[in-house]
Chains A and B, each alone.
Chain A
Amino acid sequence: MSEQITIDKSLRDWWSRVKAGQTGALPALLGLLVLCLVFGSMSSVFLTPGNFANLLTQAAAVIVIAMGLVFVLLLGEIDLSAGYAAGVCGAVLVILITESDYQWWIAFPLSILVGVVLGGLIGYLVAELRIPSFVVTLATFLAFQGLLLLLVGEGGTIRIEDPVILAVENKNLSVSTSWLFFLFVSGAYLISGIWKFYRRKKAGLADNLFKFWLIKALTLVVIGAAATSALTVERSNNPELVSLRGIPYVVPVILVLLVGATFVLTKTSFGLHIYAVGGNAEAARRAGINVKMVRISAFMICSGFAAVAGMIFVSRANSISPTTGGSSTLLYAVGAAVIGGTSLFGGKGKVSDAILGGLVVAVIDNGMALLGYPAGIKFMVTGAVLLISASIDAFSRRGAATT
């Protein structure tokens, strides 16, 4: 009886939070579900394991850029040049490996370092000189595009043959490793969650959210198991020639980034300061927070993530070209973060939102291509979805202001 009351109460607490504008990931999650059902019913290919794996590798680079963008968006700033930052860092990576014969484990960290330095430059201009980030990154957007062109050479592409870099987007964990990976991740997730509630209980802090969390966690684990089993099905057309099964390598890469970034944002004082600066920079300053440092670091992190995305681009295309990270990349990434529930006004958002939003964008892209729609329609639909999620954000802000 009493258990029913606590679940009932936590559900009601949750619903009142939703009404107060803290919708969180709910709209994106529902959107993703609806899109999958629609495309699944219209296309026979959409819900196959092969397409699912394809979707993940297609979405990966945009997701990683969006994850980095969350840090900048949380401050209420924007980085329009993150796409080309990915291109520049990808070019650095390729050039270091193919022309300077560096090992990937030296070249990759160096390319990230380049990203961090570029981000530091943007951050300095924004935080120290107080130039609006929109203008600064519009300028760096053009500048990085030019830098990429200079690095790669006009019209040319540089191929890369490093097996490790290529494996990220093109190879999979073996079936047994895939399941081990799933068990490890879900086990760690469950144990850390239970540990947190146990410690709160020991500290004497009342909590009626445990059962609610457990339902959510178990749902996630079931989804993870379903995804793993789908990915371990043979998806090669010609299994005797080449077998294609298991989780793509890029998935663990994204998960590591997710765990790291979420840890920084939710468990450290640096993360709290990012939210504080995004919520009320003046209050943060008076509380003794080094607002400039926070701003600069956020831009550094954003471009650092872009460098990882650059590596993923390179791995997927087997090469770097002057358009890598260009065209709609950055807009998709901002769209992904916003669709996932990150506010453009700052102070609200999570890194996991970027993954969810990135999947929504990729599903539209992938599903509409499968249905044979032209690219024009695809862009218009993606734009409409972005508008819808931005309206949800705006409405929820209004809801929060009136309660």
Chain B
Amino acid sequence: MSKPILSMRGINKSFGPVHVLRDVNFDAYSGKVTALVGDNGAGKSTLIKCIAGIYIADSGETYFADKKVSIGGPRDATELGIEVVYQDLALCDNLDIVHNMFLGREEKSGPTLDESKMEAMAKKTLDGLSVRTVKSIRQQVASLSGGQRQTVAIARAVLWNSKVVILDEPTAALGVAQTEQVLKLVRQLADNGLAVIVISHNLNDVFQVADNIAAMYLGSMAAQVEKSKVTQNDVVQLITTGRSENLSGAAK
């Protein structure tokens, strides 16, 4: 396997007396989808928040593109090209797609908004993701379906030439057809060369879209393995017990 673009080594994080992350190692690769699985409370969200700069790890090292970095806040993560799409998407229903994508980072010409430039860039990004389900990018987000909203949130994340995109439960609230649509989009992101990290509880989705599976168990990384080397059963064992007979020694 090639070198990871993002590599977390020996990450520890405690909240008071609760040791949430214990010596966690985690890698994400450009052009690959890495699924992060684990039971509730296993530490997935905390790990993601450490990557995104919302929490700061107590100890451990982070390497980005082979360089040691320290992520001290959300802005640091954004500057490195790490974007997070949260489960609630954080979209403004009353704004149109273009304005949502550029919210907080509007393109301006002089004192005024450069609507044409923003619209053209938004269009290009959506085309690059092969999104054809949206009728007009000037329609309000309120009028979009769940899958389309997810699409807009993802498009916003990749608009800024980001290198790592983290998706928190992207299919949790979606129907069958829309799940399919979003998974295709996730695949497309990786094929476009981004490192994609997906948190998911749905192992079917994970096995459909992921190249790599990282399973967490009670705050430690049970294993990070290539999908082709494991079965769903192995992953279920990793999630529930932290071990799997088939993998003993195969992965660290």
What is A's interface to B at a CB cutoff of 8 Å?
20, 22, 199-200, 203-205, 267-269, 272-273, 275-276, 278-280, 282-284, 286-289, 347-348, 400-401, 403
Contacts of A272 in B (CB 8 A): 95, 99, 103, 106, 113
Q: Which of B107-144 contact A (CB under 8 A)?
A: 108, 111-113, 115-117, 119-120, 140, 142-143
The answer for the CA separation of A278 and B93 in the assembled complex, in Å, is 10
Q: Are B92 and A275 in contact (CB under 8 A)?
A: yes
Number of interface residues of B (CB under 8 A): 25
- Can you list, as one digit per residue, whether each of B81-98 has a CB less than 8 Å from chain A (1) or not (0)? 000001001111111000
Known: A275-B92, A347-B92. A205 touches B120 (CB 8 A): yes
Q: Are B92 and A205 in contact (CB under 8 A)?
A: no
**Selected contact of B93 from candidates A199, A284, A347, CB within 8 Å:** A347
What is B's interface to A at a CB cutoff of 8 Å?
86, 89-95, 99, 103-106, 108, 111-113, 115-117, 119-120, 140, 142-143
The answer for the CA separation of A7 and B111 in the assembled complex, in Å, is 33
Q: Are A284 and B116 in contact (CB under 8 A)?
A: no
Q: Are B95 and A203 in contact (CB under 8 A)?
A: no
Contacts of B120 in A (CB 8 A): 203-205
Contacts of B113 in A (CB 8 A): 267-269, 272
The answer for the CA separation of A403 and B111 in the assembled complex, in Å, is 36
Contacts of A205 in B (CB 8 A): 116, 119-120
Contacts of B116 in A (CB 8 A): 199-200, 203, 205
The answer for the CA separation of A205 and B117 in the assembled complex, in Å, is 10
Please give 5 more A-B residue pairs, beta carbons under 8 A apart, in addition to A204-B120, A400-B140.
A20-B143, A22-B140, A268-B111, A276-B92, A284-B92
CB-nearest residue of chain A to B84: A286
The answer for the CA separation of A287 and B103 in the assembled complex, in Å, is 6
Q: How far is the CB of B35 from chain A (nearest CB, A)?
A: 24
The answer for the CA separation of A267 and B108 in the assembled complex, in Å, is 10
Q: Are A283 and B94 in contact (CB under 8 A)?
A: no
The answer for the CA separation of A338 and B72 in the assembled complex, in Å, is 45
Q: Are B95 and A279 in contact (CB under 8 A)?
A: yes
Q: How far is the CB of A394 from chain B (nearest CB, A)?
A: 15
Known: A20-B143, A203-B116, A204-B120. A279 touches B92 (CB 8 A): yes
CB-nearest residue of chain A to B117: A203
Contacts of B111 in A (CB 8 A): 267-268
Q: How far is the CB of B77 from chain A (nearest CB, A)?
A: 12
Contacts of A267 in B (CB 8 A): 111-113
Contacts of B104 in A (CB 8 A): 273, 284, 287-289
Q: How far is the CB of B43 from chain A (nearest CB, A)?
A: 22
The answer for the CA separation of A276 and B104 in the assembled complex, in Å, is 9
